Chain A
């Protein structure tokens, strides 16, 4: 029976360490792995030489259970007289952290459109002329549809089948109407120079542009925001340019959780540009930033769509 128990512990994924008179009497391979010790070197030696952690030692002495960070792992441990049991909870903790990050990303993706929809609803509640009310309802319908697609599309990895060739100009009306309250608040306007078509998921491009325009309105200092597209040998680029102090740490800004040095007093999560980059990667493009003489430009690239079999024309100038 004892031999059976020992062979079971030898194969167990949980760690077990048995100690007597302050010395290590047995530890299984899992415990050796979690504690990063070589069994031969600690068997029969003082317990602390295997644990190498004053908190673990205290728990062994007093008994009880707790979670600790040790040797770059998250360990859940339980101590009863003479026995220390260890479970590696690192993966669980990492999954929980990933879930939290997903929640933050989702909140960010929904916050801007929901705030826009709320202001349209408030305008409707206060009374709008019939034609404008009809337009507002149409916008709400379109936004709701977009959010529905966003929910269906979780977790943000858009399927290639949703890509299609469309003119960037298609997005202009919806974006301007949607950002109208913020534009009015800052007495700002958008100048569009976007004669190109691209092959991408229109919802993803809409979301990326919404994030970039939202940033330009939050952090830009001038009244004019320029949205311009162009073409080179690699494909089409699309930039949102605003006036303001030129930045120099663009790559860092595209990392989740990073914010610009002038953003300390503006509400934000530091996720917007990271999302823009993920969205751009979804259609095979990229996202970048560059400093201008008196401001900054944040851009998207769209590769030339070479599939001539079913998806229609390749990327081209639409006029």
Chain B
């Protein structure tokens, strides 16, 4: 009986890792598309969003069935709820990668405001955060999950930096306002994507320790 349950839990783990990997690919591609101003690559990211949506529904359905059928308890139950909660955050993260891709298509229609360095860097850092989530999930590695918190602080700092810079551009030259607003939206999307990854890490820590751990500034 336990063997069957373990097999089903393993299958859920594998499917969730596939979904994390797909979101990672979308995030990485969105950063590359932004850096290279490549609308074709951006289009690929948008198309992949539908795959993530389908995966979410499939994994959610399997998890609910498993909870109902196997009457899960303790860490198995926490694992199931971690997956259910993580699915929502992953799906939202994919949406934000797709939003960036949509903005890349808009930006690529005109000469760039400048060489984009910090924004693609944010995207690359987010892919590393997704690597850490995948590792913490696959290897039950609490430290990797906690490392995501620290990385999200870096993303928040970069967001502040980019926002300030864009504001300066807009104040200096009103002709840059449209592009700067679009770039601000890209920065915001990446910042929100980072927040969703942080949520997933919190859930993983909860699954592994039974305690809900939040960053000090997130506790109100």
* A258 interface neighbour in B14, B22, B114, Cβ under 8 Å: B114
Q: Decide yes or no whether B108 CB sits under 8 A from chain A.
A: no
CA distance A299 to B21 in the complex (A): 49
From known contacts A52-B138, A54-B18, A72-B131, infer whether A261 and B25 are also in contact, taking CB-CB under 8 Å. no
Residues of chain A within 8 A (CB-CB) of B20 are 52
CA distance A248 to B18 in the complex (A): 46
**Which of B112, B117, B172 has the most chain A CB within a 10 Å cutoff?**
B172
Q: Decide yes or no whether B72 CB sits under 8 A from chain A.
A: no
From known contacts A36-B131, A49-B13, infer whether A41 and B139 are also in contact, taking CB-CB under 8 Å. yes
Residues of chain A within 8 A (CB-CB) of B168 are 248-249
Q: Is the CB–CB distance between A259 and B115 below 8 Å?
A: yes
Q: Decide yes or no whether B189 CB sits under 8 A from chain A.
A: no
What bracket does the count of chain B residues touching chain A fall in? 20 to 34
Q: Decide yes or no whether A42 CB sits under 8 A from chain B.
A: yes
CA distance A143 to B17 in the complex (A): 61
Residues of chain A within 8 A (CB-CB) of B172 are 245, 248, 261
Q: Decide yes or no whether A160 CB sits under 8 A from chain B.
A: no
Shortest distance between the CB of B154 and any CB in chain A (Å): 15
Residue of A nearest to B168 (CB): A248
Q: Decide yes or no whether B135 CB sits under 8 A from chain A.
A: yes
Q: Decide yes or no whether B111 CB sits under 8 A from chain A.
A: yes
Q: Decide yes or no whether B28 CB sits under 8 A from chain A.
A: yes
Q: Decide yes or no whether B218 CB sits under 8 A from chain A.
A: no
Q: Is the CB–CB distance between A262 and B173 below 8 Å?
A: yes
From known contacts A36-B131, A49-B17, A262-B173, infer whether A54 and B22 are also in contact, taking CB-CB under 8 Å. yes
Residues of chain B within 8 A (CB-CB) of A36 are 131, 135
Q: Is the CB–CB distance between B169 and A261 below 8 Å?
A: yes
Q: Decide yes or no whether B37 CB sits under 8 A from chain A.
A: no
Q: Decide yes or no whether A139 CB sits under 8 A from chain B.
A: no
Q: Is the CB–CB distance between B114 and A259 below 8 Å?
A: yes
Residue of B nearest to A253 (CB): B114
* B14 interface neighbour in A49, A257, A262, Cβ under 8 Å: A49
CA distance A270 to B17 in the complex (A): 41
Residues of chain A within 8 A (CB-CB) of B176 are 261
CA distance A49 to B24 in the complex (A): 16
Residues of chain A within 8 A (CB-CB) of B117 are 255, 257-258
Residues of chain A within 8 A (CB-CB) of B165 are 249
CA distance A50 to B139 in the complex (A): 9
Query: Which residues between 12 and 52 of chain A lie within 8 Å of chain B, taking CB atoms?
Result: 36-38, 41-42, 46, 48-50, 52
Q: Decide yes or no whether A169 CB sits under 8 A from chain B.
A: no
CA distance A240 to B130 in the complex (A): 48
Residue of B nearest to A265 (CB): B111
Residues of chain B within 8 A (CB-CB) of A52 are 17, 20-21, 131, 134-135, 138
Shortest distance between the CB of B187 and any CB in chain A (Å): 16
Q: Is the CB–CB distance between B114 and A48 below 8 Å?
A: no
Q: Decide yes or no whether A57 CB sits under 8 A from chain B.
A: yes
What bracket does the count of chain A residues touching chain B fall in? 20 to 34
Residues of chain B within 8 A (CB-CB) of A57 are 18
B6-38 contact mask (Cβ, 8 Å, vs A): 1 or 0: 000010011001101110110010000000000
Q: Is the CB–CB distance between B21 and A53 below 8 Å?
A: yes
Q: Is the CB–CB distance between A270 and B112 below 8 Å?
A: no
Residue of A nearest to B140 (CB): A41
B163-177 contact mask (Cβ, 8 Å, vs A): 1 or 0: 001001100110010
Q: Is the CB–CB distance between B138 and A49 below 8 Å?
A: yes
Query: Which residues between 127 and 183 of chain B lie within 8 Å of chain A, taking CB atoms?
Result: 128, 131, 134-135, 138-139, 165, 168-169, 172-173, 176
Q: Name 29 A/B residue pairs within 8 A (Cβ), A-sorted.
A: A36-B135, A37-B135, A38-B139, A41-B139, A42-B139, A46-B13, A48-B17, A49-B13, A49-B17, A52-B17, A52-B20, A52-B131, A52-B134, A52-B135, A52-B138, A53-B21, A54-B21, A54-B25, A57-B18, A69-B28, A245-B172, A255-B117, A257-B115, A259-B115, A261-B169, A261-B172, A264-B112, A264-B113, A265-B111
Q: Which positions in B face A, CB cutoff 8 Å?
A: 10, 13-14, 17-18, 20-22, 24-25, 28, 111-115, 117, 128, 131, 134-135, 138-139, 165, 168-169, 172-173, 176
* Given A248-B168, A259-B115, 18 more pairs with CB closer than 8 A: A36-B135, A37-B135, A37-B139, A41-B139, A48-B138, A49-B17, A54-B22, A54-B25, A55-B21, A57-B18, A255-B117, A257-B115, A258-B115, A261-B114, A262-B173, A264-B111, A264-B113, A270-B115
Q: Which positions in A face B, CB cutoff 8 Å?
A: 36-38, 41-42, 46, 48-50, 52-55, 57, 69, 71-72, 245, 248-249, 255, 257-259, 261-262, 264-265, 270
The 8 closest A-B pairs by CB, nearest first: A54-B21, A49-B138, A52-B134, A48-B14, A41-B139, A54-B18, A257-B115, A264-B111
